[in-house]
Structure 1
């Protein structure tokens, strides 16, 4: 406001440049997704048109019809939902208990455990692929959604524990003390007092873990041969011949897979913001 009073021209120039930068960044982020949406509504012959003609070409739903008529894609949606939901549920259950212990109790080696969790969460997937494959085949879990879900826990549980631990530390201890004075057990305190307070963090970590499990490709490609998840099904999409690349159905399948994630983000956006900003400012 001081700049506006002293030099109005410079003030409006800065605001113009700021909004111009916002527009450029927005277009840069949304243009690939918008182009994918356009491609999903275009015929195969329209893909070779110039960009302007392609943007205004006739709309068709044949790609979406072809995608939903594909039995492999429907099975992929089913298995992706089972594996992602199962991995998130197990991660939140065990992660909540671990975060409660790490955030509330003092014991020897707690800091070392936190460092181990952080190290595991940033470990590359390819480094543990061989060992996981040996374990999954040894326990006869190959091509089994349970085996894939267990493999996802390697990166969903550490992430969940790390985020929830920092959130538990910021919960006022008076809430827990009041529940204990009223006769509640530690488990009752956790489920009836702390869990409702932790709901924004649980929603945030659960949603981010769900997105990671839903979009995961390497483990799904390695550990599943017939019961494949959606990313593997889309990657193996083939046309009528070896020279045909069905970009329209591929983009339609990608849009269908993205819609649930966008819907979840829109539904829980308030919880996500609260969970991400919790503990950022201390009074």
Structure 2
């Protein structure tokens, strides 16, 4: 009998209670900031400033959500972020798939050095690239355009995507590709028909990581796209505050709207995302 087939030891009541409390604390700690943000977005300024703290709003006040779109072109901010994040994700995955496949399946000389280089680039601080990228895009007349964000977002997320896919491709048995190539399929066909379908959780994980990084990025979006109509969500949220005024319920409503796409993506692809994160720990 293998280790996987052996029955798991039963937990005593104290261990069950401890595990349940630990999971409850983890869930509450993870969801509490978002729940608090939603509650804040439903309050008015008077309720927010009450002491002692009023935890629940007095009613279902959706006026802050209407103000989000009336005081700033937030719909345009949202569209800009969606376009930039989707295209950056697509470009990054298109480049990362063949790169990761070559590192994982082919006999590449200096493979260890290449992987180390990829890890090193993933730790590179974005602020150190700000000035050279700004001068480059200004010379190419790309400021206040989508490519000014799509290109650096895809490049900066590429190391994470490659490392995630390398771990997945390395875990797939080579015999499956060999069998496909014996049947007449070339290596590219074997990659497209065998490796990629089996690596769906890894593809989803890499794509979600790239999308979230692109959606949340602030510094480059603030510096490269300065026109109001080209702002992204992460920058647009900051436009609601004034020099002396901080309308926290309004800002909270904008943050809740900006968080919706991430929540929906995680909810839809939860199983594949968890499987991808787990398999990401496989030694490449």
Contact 1:76–1:230 under 8 Å retained in 2:
yes
Show the counterpart of 1:254: 255
Instruction: Tell me how far apart the structure 2 counterparts of residues 76 and 28 of structure 1 sit (CA, whole Å).
Output: 30
Show the counterpart of 1:89: 90
Deviation at 1:25, TM superposition (A): 3.9
Instruction: Tell me how far apart the structure 1 counterparts of residues 282 and 244 of structure 2 sit (CA, whole Å).
Output: 57
Instruction: Tell me how far apart the structure 2 counterparts of residues 2 and 162 of structure 1 sit (CA, whole Å).
Output: 35
Deviation at 1:231, TM superposition (A): 0.5
Give 3-state SS (helix, strand or coil) of 2:124's partner: coil
1:135 aligns with 2:136: yes
Deviation at 1:23, TM superposition (A): 3.4
Query: Structure 1 pair 57/235, CA: closer, same or farther in 2 (3 Å)?
Result: same
Normalised by the length of structure 2, the TM-score is 0.89
Give 3-state SS (helix, strand or coil) of 1:75's partner: helix
Instruction: Tell me how far apart the structure 2 counterparts of residues 78 and 48 of structure 1 sit (CA, whole Å).
Output: 33
Query: Structure 1 pair 187/119, CA: closer, same or farther in 2 (3 Å)?
Result: same
Instruction: Tell me how far apart the structure 2 counterparts of residues 22 and 110 of structure 1 sit (CA, whole Å).
Output: 40
Give structure 1 stretches of 5+ with no counterpart: 5-10
Show the counterpart of 2:64: 63
1:232 aligns with 2:235: yes
Show the counterpart of 1:161: 162
Instruction: Tell me how far apart the structure 1 counterparts of residues 238 and 62 of structure 2 sit (CA, whole Å).
Output: 21
Residue-by-residue CA offset, 1:101-159 (whole Å, 9 max, x unaligned): 11111122222111111100111111222222122112111111111111112321111
Query: Structure 1 pair 182/20, CA: closer, same or farther in 2 (3 Å)?
Result: closer
Deviation at 1:30, TM superposition (A): 2.6
Show the counterpart of 1:42: 43
Normalised by the length of structure 1, the TM-score is 0.89
Give structure 2 stretches of 5+ with no counterpart: 1-7
Show the counterpart of 1:7: none
Instruction: Tell me how far apart the structure 2 counterparts of residues 273 and 12 of structure 1 sit (CA, whole Å).
Output: 28
Query: Structure 1 pair 197/15, CA: closer, same or farther in 2 (3 Å)?
Result: closer
Which moved further from structure 2: 209-218 or 51-60?
A: 51-60
Contact 1:234–1:253 under 8 Å retained in 2:
yes
Give 3-state SS (helix, strand or coil) of 1:60's partner: coil
> Alignment RMSD, CA only?
2.2
Query: Structure 1 pair 279/79, CA: closer, same or farther in 2 (3 Å)?
Result: closer
Deviation at 1:20, TM superposition (A): 3.5
Residue-by-residue CA offset, 1:160-187 (whole Å, 9 max, x unaligned): 1111012111111111112211211222
Q: Which runs of 4+ in 1 moved over 4 A?
A: 1-4, 11-15, 279-282
Listed as ranges, the matches of 1:19-30 within 5 Å are 19-30=20-31
Show the counterpart of 1:178: 179
Query: Structure 1 pair 63/56, CA: closer, same or farther in 2 (3 Å)?
Result: closer
Show the counterpart of 2:274: 273
Paired positions, count: 274
Contact 1:170–1:279 under 8 Å retained in 2:
no
